[in-house]
Amino acid sequence: MNALADTHNLTDMLADAMQANRMTGSARDTGALLLEHLRRPTVIVVAGLAGGGKTSLINMLAGTGLMPALGTVPITELTWGEKPKVVTELRNGEMVTFDGAPDAAEFSSDVLRVSIETPSDVLRDRSFIEVSLPDEQDKAEDFLDWGLERADVALWCTQNFDDREYMLWASAPDHLKDRSFLALTKADQLHVKGVLTRRLKELDARAAEEFYGLYPIATLQALAAQNTAPDANASLLTASGGSALMEGLEHQIEAGRMADIDHVRILLDRAGVAQAPAKTPVPDPGLTAMAAPGAESADPAAACAQALALIDRLADDLRAPEGYLPGPQAGRVLAACAQSASDVAMLLESTSCDSPAFSALRDEVSDAEQLITLLSSESGAAAATDALALMVQMRKEIHAETMR
């Protein structure tokens, strides 16, 4: 079963379980939120000051010229629809709808928001919101808050990320900062001016504090690369910085989706709903000298040693430098802890040993894995701290077992 089919299957199972009242209280509330997340497209918000390259970046991410440049319109939404349609919201609250594609010449300064629907397959599983921030501080804050409230992933487009931009972004919720990117646009122009390297160094500390990653990108070059011959496309897109940003974005989208799916599995398990087992993860090539997680073993001492090595490798990975990707951010920490906990739990579960002490250890590790999975769906610095604490405690318990 592929990942998409697995998602659809588990979503249907969760909906059926809730319909049958097999979940109550907080579990039902959580299930309703998960269903809402899994049934709607991922919302990608691209924000920044005017002239920051937001429209071009959205067109690069969408792989086509779907997002028009609408001048002074503060908020533009791009979503899937059966046929082209445009809905405009005026500053007085009036809504105007017309069929067809938008034309920038048709929009006056009274237009507050434009929602564009178009039947593009790209938009079936994701939608885009462009937020162009005006000079007026209070309006800029209101528009940004409106967009970020709807965001699953966010990108801030800039060439400077100056103090004003920093103060605007600082109000973003922590859980979203862990799934956001600072896109240093028009990087080719900065390179020609000889300031790109210095600008990246200047932004590194702020990016590490406020974003999951910092990506320099020559957006127009990336768009041109997408229209070249296939054999030239990859190298041109990589050189533009487009590939790195799109890979980082896809990783965050997939991590968020898988966290929701893991959470669904836990809810279904607690409700007593039978389900197909999760797909076994591909073993880490760096662990080929060890038994891969899930491989049968009858040596509990060896299994514990391998489990300790997995946790120690997690610590090393979180300390490793990542260039302009900032150091341990909450989202990355949570994803790494969840994967490591899953590997350790699978390793111990597949070890054939029925001693009471080892069985108790298996149960404790399994409980910790489920808690870390739940934490990864919450995100934020507090959740990351709790996940790390659980991994530390897990290591202590496994080490204690090796000393028996």
More confident site: 319 or 333: 333
- Pairwise CA distance, residues 132 & 33, whole Å: 29
The amino acid that residue 300 corresponds to is: P
DSSP 198: H
∠ Cα 88 137 202 (to 5°): 110
- Pairwise CA distance, residues 327 & 336, whole Å: 13
Query: Is the confidence at residue 154, as pLDDT, over 90?
Result: yes
CB 129 within 8 A of CB 76: yes
- Helix (H, G, I), strand (E, B), or coil: what is residue 329? coil
Band of the pLDDT at 240, cuts 50, 70, 90?
A: confident
The amino acid that residue 172 corresponds to is: A
**Domain-wise residue ranges, the chain:** 40-240, 280-402
- pLDDT at 33 (0 to 100): 84
Band of the pLDDT at 209, cuts 50, 70, 90?
A: confident
Q: What is the mean pLDDT of the chain?
A: 81
- CB burial of 380-394 (b: ≥16 within 10 Å; e: otherwise) equals bbebbebbbebbeeb
- Pairwise CA distance, residues 129 & 46, whole Å: 6
Q: Tell me: the pLDDT tens digits for 1-24?
A: 445 556 778 888 888 888 888 887
Q: Which residues contact 128 (CB under 8 A, 6 or more apart)?
A: 43, 44, 45, 46, 58, 61, 62, 67, 77, 78
- Pairwise CA distance, residues 233 & 245, whole Å: 15
- Helix (H, G, I), strand (E, B), or coil: what is residue 123? helix
CATH of domain 40-240: 3.40.50.300
More confident site: 317 or 43: 43
- Pairwise CA distance, residues 245 & 212, whole Å: 11
Q: What are phi and psi of 3, to 5 degrees?
A: -60, -40
Number of H helices, E strands in the chain: 15, 9
This model's pTM is above 0.75: no
- Per-residue HEC secondary structure of 52-105 comes to CCHHHHHHHHHCCCCCCCCCCCCEEEEEECCCCEEEEEECCCCEEEEECCCCHH
Alpha-carbon distances, residue 187 vs 158, 222, 311 (angstroms): 10, 11, 38
Q: Tell me: the pLDDT tens digits for 59-118?
A: 988 877 899 888 789 999 999 999 999 999 998 889 999 898 887 667 778 889 999 999
